[in-house]
Structure 1
Amino acid sequence: MSTIGFIGLGIMGRPMATNLIMAGYDVIGYDHSPARYEALRQVGGQIADGVVELVQKSEIVISMVRDSADVEAVALGEQGVLANARPGQLYIDMSSISPQTARQVAEAGKTFGVRVLDAPVSGGEAAAVEGDLSIMVGGEADDFAAARPVFDVVGRTIVHVGPHGAGQTVKAANQLIVAGTIELVAEAIVFLEAYGVDTEAAVKVLAGGLAGNRVLDRKAAGMLARQFQPGFRIDLHHKDMGILTSAAREAGVVIPLGSAVAQLIAALKAQGDGGLDHSALLKLVEQLSGRSAR
């Protein structure tokens, strides 16, 4: 088993690192917030004083951080992953960032002889805990094969989707579909409630037909109960929709529905709800419908 350095121990990173430890890997963690260290120690993880130490003590380095700027800060520069890695070392960024940044990091990796993969994930906190993530991977096929045993621990649907940056492009498409689906589920729930329908029964039958989807399976119960504890925060989905709309504009692709949902997410963030789960789109549908939130 390899020693894995894991950078970023937040909502997604902590359970992923934990699952790697449970699978027998030695894991060394690092996070900008030391308050997150105790949870890793409790399951047998080690802690590094910084990125340089983490890289030097690891065979494989994984980062799961907030955005493109954080990846650049972690990966590039004299104190970053690439400058301190050994030739041939594998660096896997599993954050959700812009395809352009992913390609930039991969190009920088070539300068240092470091193998780089962009491998963003989908499924939210529940799938991270269960080791059931969907992982879309960009990079060289040989590097994907080398990383596959690690991916098999934290995910179930694992696909090499193309060259560097392709993983992030597919993730942007994923976030478009997820945002649109959550918005439609939110609208359906408010519509059903306006007519006094038994919403739990309605969700059950909807989930069994053509309208069935993972949002209904994983999010509907919390939406009905107005429980929006973050599995994936509005702040982060706002960031991802920015990546999507920018990439779509660059490619000359029109996304009218996606752009509308991006504005709804931006509105929730502007109202101070950025820390809520993205299923809180339901709150905005209620507002727009003139219905009091429960």
Structure 2
Amino acid sequence: MVKTYGFIGLGHLGRFLAGSLLREGFGLVVTDLNKENAADLIAAGAIWAGDAQAVAEQVEAVITCLPSPSVSERVLTGERGILAGLKPGGCWIEMSTLDEQEIIRLGAMAAAQGIRVMEAPVTGGVHLAASGEISVITGGDQDLYELHLPAFQAMGNQIFRAGPLGKAAIIKVITNMLAFIHLVACGEALMLAKKGGIDLTDAFNIIKASSGNSFVHETEGQVILNGSYNINFTMDLACKDLGFAMGFARDFGVPLDLASQTEQTFIRARAAYGGDAWSSQVVKLLEDAVGTDLRAPGFPAEL
């Protein structure tokens, strides 16, 4: 069992995953572009390091939770990156969402320097990461899975092993693809209800109790009805993941009609509201087109 981890990337998701490790008694060495993101972790006992190399020099395993494949590669291989600091036999655990071939390629680069690699993307939403109840999907060698399982269990309540390196990337992208399709459908359903004269609180509760319910309706539906749209996941990230899904569609020869249409909807939403807008704001395209908002009292601004 590894007692102390490095953790790089303390954004909306990473800070909560790192916090769960601390809460469960693991030592932690952290860094981020913005030291303020680490303030609560440092106050709770984490050690701050100036960069990725400085993190890696102090631990046997480094976890990353970063916004894009290009950032992951830079943090891993760049000057003063992880590979410059980890000793041979160390482990890099990538919790960002990458393409299958990208994580395999980066894994080979790490292996050439004696570093082993696991992928461990998470699913379920930032609010579940905050409570340590998120689901973790792992890919990599069985012995690494067993070695790091206590850390995964500290961060999440359902831990899956999808197979060798790269397979977690595929299923994680599939789950995100479904979530984005459900999100667009949720907006359409709520708009039909409102235009049909149904109270939106009633509509939300009836859908929640019906065969048409989804996790997205239960969660993102609430911040849509509040008007904050704040799901702590950006339009840029949604477009990135939908792009991965369409790449898999080409690679595997699978036509994805719904996902293709959903990707175009998100691209339009990103053009309208910006890449930093919350992904749930994709529903605002429909609100703007119809000239009717989807608001109901009593729903939270953030989950």
**TM-score, normalization by structure 2:** 0.92
Corresponding position of 1:41 = 42
Instruction: Give the aligned partner of residue 272 of structure 1.
Output: 273
* Residue correspondence of structure 1 range 37-186 to structure 2 within 5 A: 37-186=38-187
> In the alignment, which residue of structure 1 is the partner of 2:298?
none
Output the CA distance in 2 between the equivalents of 1:272 and 1:214.
Answer: 24
State the alpha-carbon separation in 2 of the partners of residues 162 and 267 from structure 1.
35
Structure 2 residue runs of 5 or longer lacking an equivalent are 296-303
Tell whether the 8 Å contact from 1:2 to 1:25 is kept in structure 2 after alignment.
yes
SS in structure 1 opposite 2:110?
helix
The 1-side partners of 2:218 and 2:47 are apart by 35
Match in the other structure for 1:189: 190
Displacement of 1:290: 4.4
Equivalent positions of 1:188-227 (< 5 A) are 188-227=189-228
- Paired residues in the alignment total 294
Q: Could you report, residue by residue, the CA deviation over 1:120-175 in whole angstroms, capped at 9, with x for unpaired residues?
A: 11122101101111111111111111111010011112111011111111111011
| Structure 1 counterpart of 2:236 | 235
Runs of 4+ in 1 over 4 A off after TM superposition: none
Give how far 1:280 is off. Answer: 1.3
Change in 2 beyond 3 A, CA 1:279/1:272:
closer
Distance 2:162 2:45 in 1: 33
SS at match of 2:112: helix
Shift of 1:77: 3.8
Distance in structure 2 (CA, Å) of the matches to 1:89 and 1:205: 51
TM superposition shift of 1:285: 1.6
Contact 2:225–2:294, Cα closer than 8 Å, also in 1: no
What's the CA shift string for 1:63-87, capped at 9, x where partnerless?
A: 0000100110011245322343122
Identity of aligned residues (%): 28
Structure 1: stretches of 5+ with no match in the other structure: none
Q: What code does the residue aligned with 1:40 have? A: L
Letter in 2 for 1:232: F
Conservation of the 8 A alpha-carbon contact between 2:53 and 2:83: no
What is the alpha-carbon distance in structure 1 between the residues aligned to residue 227 and residue 283 of structure 2? 8
TM-score of the two chains, using structure 1 as the length reference? 0.95
1:38 counterpart letter in structure 2: A
Partner of 2:7, secondary structure, is strand
Tell me the SS of whatever aligns to 1:215: helix
- CA deviations 1:188-230 (Å, max 9, x no partner) are 0111111120121222122122122211221222111212124
For the aligned residues, what is the CA RMSD? 1.6
Kept after mapping to 2: 8 A contact 1:6/1:27: yes
Partners in 1 of 2:277 and 2:294 — Cα distance?
15
